[in-house]
Amino acid sequence: MVASDSKSHSHTQTNYEKDQNFEDILKPVYKGKKLTDEINTAEDKWNLLPAFLKVKGLVKQHLDSFNFFVDVDLKKIIKANRLILSDVDPEFYLKFIDIRIGQRSNSSSKDILAPPHECRLRDMTYSAPIYVDIEYTRGRNIVIHRDVEIGKMPIMLRSNKCILNGCDEQMMARLNECPLDPGGYFIVNGTEKVILVQEQLSKNRIIVEADEKKGVVQASVTSSTHERKSKTYVVTKNDKIYLKHNSISEDVPIAIVLKAAGIVSDLEILQLVCGNDSSYQDIFAVNLEEAAKFKIYTQQQALEYIGTKVKTIRKQKLTALQEGIEAIATTVIAHLTVEELDFREKALYIAMMTRRVVMAIHNPKMVDDRDYVGNKRLELAGQLISLLFEDLFKKFTSDFKMSIDKVLKKPNRAMEYDALLSINVHCNNITSGLNRSISTGNWSLKRFKMERAGVTHVLSRLSYISALGMMTRISSQFEKSRKVSGPRALQPSQFGMLCTADTPEGEACGLVKNLALMTHITTDDEEDPIKKLCYVLGVEDISSLDSATIHESYGVHLNGTLVGTTRFPNKFVTQFRDLRRAGKVSAFISIYTNSHQQAVHIATDGGRICRPLIVIEKGKSLVKAEHLRDLLNGDLVFDDFLKLGLVEYLDVNEENDSFIALYEKDITPAMTHLEIEPFTVLGAVAGLIPYPHHNQSPRNTYQCAMGKQAIGAIAYNQFKRIDTLLYLMIYPQQPMVKTKTIELINYDKLPAGQNATVAVMSYSGYDIEDALILNKSSIDRGFGRCETRRKTTTILKRYPNHTQDIIGGMRVDENGKPIWQHEALGPDGLGEVGMKVSSGQIYINKSIPTNTAEGLEAINTQSQYKETPVMYRGPEPSHVDQVMMSVSDNDQALIKVLLRQNRRPELGDKFSSRHGQKGVCGLIVQQEDMPFNDQGINPDIIMNPHGFPSRMTVGKMIELISGKAGVLNGSLEYGTCFGGSKLEEMSKILVDKGFNYSGKDMLYSGITGECLQAYIFFGPIYYQKLKHMVLDKMHARARGPRAVLTRQPTEGRSRDGGLRLGEMERDCVIAYGASQLLLERLMISSDAFEVDVCDKCGLMGYSGWCTTCRSAENIIKMTIPYAAKLLFQELLSMNIAPRLRMENIFQQ
Amino acid sequence: MSEKNSLFVKDDEDDDVDMISNANDSTTKEGTSSVAVESMDIDIDNDSLDSNSDEANFDIDEEDPIIEEIPLNIGGKDEHLHILQYIGKNKRLGKKPANHPFVSDIRYKAKSSVWELEIPLDESSFFNKNKDNEINGGDDWEDANIQYLKGVSVKNNGQYVAFSSNKQVYLLPVEKIAQVKPYFKHIDDLTKKRKQIESKNNATPASQKAQVVTMSVKSVSDQAANKLAGSLRAHKIEAEEDPLKLSWVENTFNSFRDSVKQEVSEHQLKCISERDVYLSKLFH
């Protein structure tokens, strides 16, 4: 049968069996329900979600995109640029036949790469060689050379070219990798780099916009091909329609453009643009006069007219006619490049654009929304690298060609020329080009003249969630500084596609988004088979369509281009969808009808967000209990649901063409789809929040920002990592109140927080403004304790004169003991593991040679060294945790020392619950002074009740009740969005265990022993410790360094700077009339400077001598700020003489 | 526009299909002509997509009873069918051969597949003879009494022309479709002429100066760089290509039909794949 066949096929294809990560989730014992229990479709269809994630993974979009690039796109790039011909020797050719990453043609297995963790430690790039097969002429022979390496390609972790692909947990452990790490990033020069998902307006689609104030309507299309990018507009100007393009100097009347594209008769123009609609005809008719005004009647005249307006620079001179042909064929709407004589496709495209403009003029509502998610495309790592690689490859081939030409130009060579000998010279360009772009984030593409900065980011390893959050992040191309609301607003169309809660606050608000949990981003699919399929399904080809009737039936648009028409759009769409559900067409191709435009749109392009939904037929969900049972038994995987047509992917546009039921009980006969789980509207980060549907929405957004700052466990290999800065929690706990998302993303295995017993009450005055009271004994027991690990890297350089940096041993005093500064050092001059390093002590005793110049005298002189030790600075001592010495890529010794600091919570450290309720520690109280309940339980945290009324975080209260019930019941409760453990059930447990249903307890004062006046809301809430800690921020200074230029104290904690008495503080002091204080703060304690001023000329002299007056007669010494003196001198330098006129204030 | 509009031009113009027997063009097409293919409509071209739709239709048409079976014949071994579509032709002319414009001259450029038709205009009505010759605002259209139609033909795949005879349907694949449109050669000729005169009159010293033609080894390589690409090259080829002069023959349908029948009866259509292979293809 079909199903079993295809299943076994898919099993052999991927290595699901080995992947143990998701097995537990797939067999959940949820609410006491086991595998053998009855299946309830309405409740249990959520099991599709772990099945989805098992196949897709959390960062599948990145992996898919990269896999697509290395397997498909790369080959296309090679095919498009395969030939190198010589200008000199017409006989010579060199052809790239094939390209592979990390695998030789003859070997069945992949190349063995340096494992990713080694690359991290040794500051190397995790990359695989790029092999090409080359066919070329050597002398008179044609030679095929296989497996020529042309550079190295950085490999995305966990992609199919990565050695971790298909590894089981043991193998991962052996490679020092965390099995929970999602992958999807690169390691370049030892740092983990993520290529953020970029959001863009979709390419090659018509967007119609109107400016109602100016009365302008424009249809624009951004054409993007491998070769070029350009934008074509059809705009209105004075109620007439013109075509606008960057390389055409003037706006061309649309009728002339259409004539140039072969639609010569006015009748046909009118038929194509307006059809039979007389109101459209009225609007458009004036444009026909426009062409007549220019006396343009024939195609040739029109082409010549356009040809004279073109402003491209060419090497070769073309006639106006040729320029016109070139403009119409290639420049305008560049993604439809005409190679032959037939312009019809293009003419129709321009006519369609014009029609859309006319429609928008007629009905202002017929415009497109730029911010609509269906009009957006996401650009992922694979696409971005593909753009970059093609650029580099083109450069590579042109360089290679030049060097070949150089040799071939010489007429008499002794032996026949082997072109391959010189290929190695250029290989480095590809490798370094890729590495440089990924490590700097500067994407410069020559052929598009595009410069983009900030494409890549360092993967934030602050917590597991922050790393995961980064992988699902989408950055927009909009400028952050612009004050526009549209692109930032929450779009209804982002339901289920983009997380509704997870966006930063402040300037990037709404511009940076996150993917929802169950999304897929498409990769490019072939157009041609789909086009063929359309014709088979009865679509009539445009090349044989009559202009008069074209608008009487529905147009079929494939990726924005009209390919034909159909008279029965509904039938066509249904048949197409049936084929897709049958698996005959790729599942990610979307089709939908737009009745306003009378069009059927089919999209096969990459970068569309889509999500799976259950198909409903005849009012019944196709997913039945037996399917779910098979899923739980492991007989079916998610892709089988797809193949069986039970589930299908819909993109935003098709989603809008469907009728989706949220729950099974809501299904009516008209409905087409059913949600798998409503909580997938949230993303991975927002999924941590328990009961988010009870919270005020901004609170969830705040938590999304804070969840990424929470200190916790980051990965199973966290103690093997040497990162620049790492925060780890010593005793992390999984939350009492979980969500399904937490289980799905493995947050329970790598948690970041602890379940604190919270009493919501007031205690002392140290809990105002959200401050928290902490129990000292809790801290002693390890609550909120964390560890910071900081890395120092040193490279021992080699110099051209054969000297190199060295590590000295320790210096000892007269007793043979090391001096204090060197106490932490071992005999090798590096800090010893476990030693304590205090401020001022040295942990790498490095020296560099004084003379590094190359030359004869350098050899003669004895090598001398200057000490450049690495000294520890910090308010608290650290311990040496790890010392690593290795050799980096370029053969220089690399030393990494990891310093560890153990921190317990102190006053001012920041904590937060999972509901956007942050607070700092205001007071640490002895346990005996804390209140206690009947059982003698003290709270870990006391939180002020004023935090609730205005914040309306009801979810937090329910979390407390569920948590308390869980503790009493010995179970973990769920707070999943739109679901989770019911409050009534939780209250029932509380009552059964002898507690109040509302979670309130009677508490006794720890100080007086009397019971408190009110019942106190008391129970466990999951608290996160945030990375902002007082120890890293506290700062004070009496005296210290000053800036060289102004002689004022330096700024900032890192430079031991002063604390500024700013403008507003100054105003206060002035208001008080405290003039002497002002003088002291602003000058004496800052940059007081004594100058000699000449009373006569008013200019400054020096050492009692006025250089202007050439006398010492009228010199007066006075103190002014150095900055003032600097200003005077700077003014002097620009020919302005500021003269001081002095008066004696003590006269009279 | 009339209510007949929903009909497509192609249907309208089927009668205009004329065979242009081209002796030089020996067929390379596999074109096996046919005997009836019964019951299952398996196409000879094993296009998987094609078959997909068949399968889909099976599901839908389950309850559709078979009323009559009509044998299908596939021809097209010797014929080269080009369809000419008269874009912008008045609908009312329709199929009446009497009103059909007489084609006086027809040319075909085989390499660039461009058709050119000449149709003499009816000078007796609605024809301004004065406009023809007089100088009208500088526009001197010489002898504009011929309408030129021109069109690029496009390769066609999957469309057939059919006729029925003796309760049998004969299918002939369409090779190319061309939409022929009027183009105003007289205007272009006029502009060209005017330009020539202009350039003669305003001969600038730059254009008069004799150019020194240098010959060197280097200039050889320049030629490669000067090559036109894409559409420009296609236009150049078209401009340089000599058209094939053909003659327009009408009222040949009966003989054409007979020849097709003849041809079809001579060839036996063989199925190159087996039933099981085909069915397995449907499911994968």
In this predicted model, what pLDDT tens digit does every residue of A1120-1141 receive, in sequence order?
999 999 999 999 999 999 999 9
Q: CA separation (Å) from A775 to A915, A930, A937, A1000?
A: 22, 7, 12, 20
What are the structure tokens assigned to B89, written together?
């032709």
Confidence label for B130 from pLDDT (cuts 50, 70 and 90): low
Q: What is the DSSP letter of B228?
A: -
Q: What is the pLDDT of residue B260?
A: 80
Active site residue A770: yes
Spot the catalytic one: A418, A635, A770, A1092: A770
Structural domain contains residue A662: yes
In this predicted model, what pLDDT tens digit does every residue of A894-938 receive, in sequence order?
999 999 999 999 999 999 999 999 999 999 999 999 999 999 999
What are the structure tokens assigned to A829, written together?
């001059």
Average pLDDT, chain A: 87
B195 touching A (Cβ < 8 Å): no
Give the pLDDT mean for A510-528: 89
Does residue A777 sit in the same domain as residue A797?
A: no
Rounded to a whole number of angstroms, the CA Rg of chain A reads 36
Instruction: Round to whole Å and give the CA distance between A78 and A74.
Output: 6
**Pairing, β A376-379 against β A443-445:** unpaired
Least confident of A83-92, A909-918, B36-45: B36-45
- Range list of H helices, B164-252: 185-201, 205-208, 218-225, 230-240
Structural domain contains residue A802: yes
Q: Helices B48-60 and A569-581: crossing angle, nearest 10°? A: 110
User: Looking at the 3D structure of chain A, how many domains does it have?
Assistant: 6
Binary contact (A533, B158; C-beta < 8 A):
no
CATH code of A1118's domain: 3.90.1800.10
Confidence label for B283 from pLDDT (cuts 50, 70 and 90): low
Say whether the ipTM exceeds 0.90: no
Instruction: Identify whether the C-beta of residue A619 lies closer than 8 Å to the C-beta of residue A41.
Output: no
Contacts of A433 (CB under 8 A, 6+ apart): A388, A391, A392, A395
Q: What is the DSSP letter of A1111?
A: B
Among A649, A675, A701, residue at a domain's last position? A675
Write out the H or E segment, with its range, that includes residue A565.
Answer: strand A561-566
If 0-12 CB within 10 Å is exposed, 13-18 middle and 19+ buried, where does residue A1092 land?
Answer: middle
B contacts of A532 (beta carbons < 8 Å)? 47, 49
Least confident of A353-362, A900-909, B237-246: B237-246
Confidence label for B92 from pLDDT (cuts 50, 70 and 90): low
Task: Count other C-beta atoms under 10 Å from residue A630's C-beta.
Answer: 18
Binary contact (B177, A543; C-beta < 8 A):
yes
Strand, helix or coil for residue B84: strand
pLDDT exceeds cutoff 50 at A476:
yes
In this predicted model, what pLDDT tens digit does every residue of A1013-1047 receive, in sequence order?
999 999 999 999 999 999 989 899 988 999 999 99
Among A626, A656, A675, residue at a domain's last position? A675
Instruction: Round to whole Å and give the CA distance between A77 and A387.
Output: 9
Binary contact (A264, B181; C-beta < 8 A):
yes
Please name the residue that has the structure tokens 């003659």. Answer: B247
Q: B49, B54, B196, B226: best mutation site toward chain A, by most A Cβ within 10 Å?
A: B49
Instruction: Identify whether the C-beta of residue A482 lies closer than 8 Å to the C-beta of residue A730.
Output: no
Distance of CA B4 to the CA centre of its chain: 24
Does residue A968 sit in the same domain as residue A1092?
A: no
Does residue A165 sit in the same domain as residue A283?
A: no
The length of chain B, given as a count of residues = 284
Does residue A928 sit in the same domain as residue A779?
A: yes
Does residue A715 sit in the same domain as residue A589?
A: no
Structural domain contains residue A893: yes
A824, HSE (Cβ side, Cα atoms, 13 Å) = 28
If 0-12 CB within 10 Å is exposed, 13-18 middle and 19+ buried, where does residue A719 land?
Answer: middle
Chain B nearest CA to A418, separation (Å)? 22
Instruction: Round to whole Å and give the CA distance between A1139 and A1137.
Output: 6
Task: Count other C-beta atoms under 10 Å from residue A152's C-beta.
Answer: 22
Please name the residue that has the structure tokens 């590495």. Answer: A435
What are the structure tokens assigned to A242, written together?
């013109």
Distance of CA B270 to the CA centre of its chain: 30
Instruction: Identify whether the C-beta of residue B201 lies closer than 8 Å to the C-beta of residue B207.
Output: no
Distance of CA A970 to the CA centre of its chain: 40
Instruction: Round to whole Å and give the CA distance between A683 and A701.
Output: 11
Does residue A804 sit in the same domain as residue A922?
A: no
Query: Which residue among B47, B52, B114 places its CB closest to the CB of A584?
Result: B52
Instruction: Round to whole Å and give the CA distance between A434 and A443.
Output: 10
Least confident of A34-38, A125-129, A307-311, A830-834: A34-38
Closest CA to A916 of A723, A709, A627: A709
In this predicted model, what pLDDT tens digit does every residue of A839-882 receive, in sequence order?
999 999 998 888 777 665 555 556 688 888 999 988 899 999 99
In this predicted model, what pLDDT tens digit does every residue of A93-134 receive, in sequence order?
888 888 988 888 777 777 788 899 999 999 999 999 999 888
Q: What is the pLDDT of residue A308?
A: 86
Binary contact (A87, B52; C-beta < 8 A):
no
CATH code of A840's domain: 2.40.50.150
- Buried-exposed string A95-110: b where 16+ CB fall within 10 A, e elsewhere: bbebbbbbbeeeeeeb
pLDDT exceeds cutoff 50 at A392:
yes
CATH code of A286's domain: 3.90.1110.10
Write out the H or E segment, with its range, that includes residue A211.
Answer: strand A206-211
Q: What is the pLDDT of residue A501?
A: 92
More confident residue, B79 or A451: A451
Least confident of A48-52, A646-650, A900-904, A1139-1143: A48-52
- Which bin fits A915, alpha (ψ -120 to 50), beta or left (φ > 0)? alpha
Q: CA separation (Å) from A476 to A473, A503, B152?
A: 10, 12, 45
Contacts of A1017 (CB under 8 A, 6+ apart): A759, A760, A761, A945, A957, A960, A998, A999, A1000
Which residue ranges make up each domain of chain B?
72-196+240-283
B contacts of A563 (beta carbons < 8 Å)? none
Write out the H or E segment, with its range, that includes residue A774.
Answer: strand A772-775
Instruction: Round to whole Å and give the CA distance between A1024 and A747.
Output: 13
Q: Using a pLDDT cut of 90, give the percent of chain B over it.
A: 0
A contacts of B5 (beta carbons < 8 Å)? 276, 548-549, 552
Instruction: Identify whether the C-beta of residue A593 lies closer than 8 Å to the C-beta of residue A554.
Output: yes
Q: What is the pLDDT of residue B221?
A: 45
Query: Which residue among B6, B112, B221 places its CB closest to the CB of A549?
Result: B6
Structural domain contains residue A374: no
Q: Which residue on chain A is closest to B284 by alpha carbon?
A: A584
Distance of CA A752 to the CA centre of its chain: 22
Q: A584, A586, A589: best mutation site toward chain B, by most B Cβ within 10 Å?
A: A584
Instruction: Round to whole Å and give the CA distance between A846 and A555.
Output: 74
Closest CA to A731 of A682, A660, A677, A781: A781
Does residue A665 sit in the same domain as residue A715?
A: no
Closest CA to A494 of A469, A519, A473: A519
Distance of CA B77 to the CA centre of its chain: 18
Structural domain contains residue A287: yes
Structural domain contains residue A941: yes
- Which bin fits A57, alpha (ψ -120 to 50), beta or left (φ > 0)? left
Does residue A915 sit in the same domain as residue A988?
A: yes
Structural domain contains residue A310: yes
Q: What is the pLDDT of residue A1041?
A: 93
pTM here is 0.83
If 0-12 CB within 10 Å is exposed, 13-18 middle and 19+ buried, where does residue A600 land?
Answer: buried
Structural domain contains residue A947: yes
First to last CA, chain A: 115
Q: What is the pLDDT of residue B23?
A: 30
Give the pLDDT mean for A703-711: 92
The length of chain A, given as a count of residues = 1148
Q: CA separation (Å) from A809 to A662, A796, A825, A877?
A: 71, 15, 8, 22
Rounded to a whole number of angstroms, the CA Rg of chain B reads 26
Contacts of A298 (CB under 8 A, 6+ apart): A259, A264, B183, B184, B187, B188
More confident residue, A523 or B33: A523
Give the pLDDT mean for A465-491: 83
Q: CA separation (Å) from A1116 to A418, A651, A1112, A1131, A1147?
A: 84, 81, 9, 21, 16
Instruction: Round to whole Å and give the CA distance between B140 and B194.
Output: 10
pLDDT exceeds cutoff 80 at B210:
no
Partnered with residue B150 across adjacent β-strands are B116, B181
Instruction: Round to whole Å and give the CA distance between A353 and A261.
Output: 14
Does residue A811 sit in the same domain as residue A799?
A: yes
Does residue A794 sit in the same domain as residue A827?
A: yes
pLDDT exceeds cutoff 80 at A41:
no
- Which bin fits B57, alpha (ψ -120 to 50), beta or left (φ > 0)? alpha
Partnered with residue B163 across adjacent β-strands are B170
- Which bin fits A599, alpha (ψ -120 to 50), beta or left (φ > 0)? beta
In this predicted model, what pLDDT tens digit does every residue of A227-245 receive, in sequence order?
788 889 999 988 889 999 9
Among A1025, A1050, A1065, residue at a domain's last position? A1025
B contacts of A573 (beta carbons < 8 Å)? none
Contacts of A1018 (CB under 8 A, 6+ apart): A757, A758, A759, A760, A933, A939, A960, A964, A999, A1000, A1001, A1003
Confidence label for A18 from pLDDT (cuts 50, 70 and 90): very low
Closest CA to A877 of A850, A844, A899, A856: A899
Instruction: Identify whether the C-beta of residue B180 lies closer than 8 Å to the C-beta of residue B208.
Output: no
In this predicted model, what pLDDT tens digit does every residue of B6-40 receive, in sequence order?
333 333 333 333 333 333 333 323 333 332 223 33
Closest CA to A303 of A357, A248, A349: A248
Does residue A223 sit in the same domain as residue A317?
A: yes
Q: What is the pLDDT of residue B10?
A: 37
- Host domain of residue A830: 787-850+872-903
Instruction: Identify whether the C-beta of residue A818 lies closer than 8 Å to the C-beta of residue A811.
Output: yes
Q: What is the pLDDT of residue A144?
A: 87
Does residue A776 sit in the same domain as residue A791?
A: no
B181 touching A (Cβ < 8 Å): yes
Q: Which of residues 143-162 of B touch A (CB under 8 A)?
A: 152, 154, 156-159
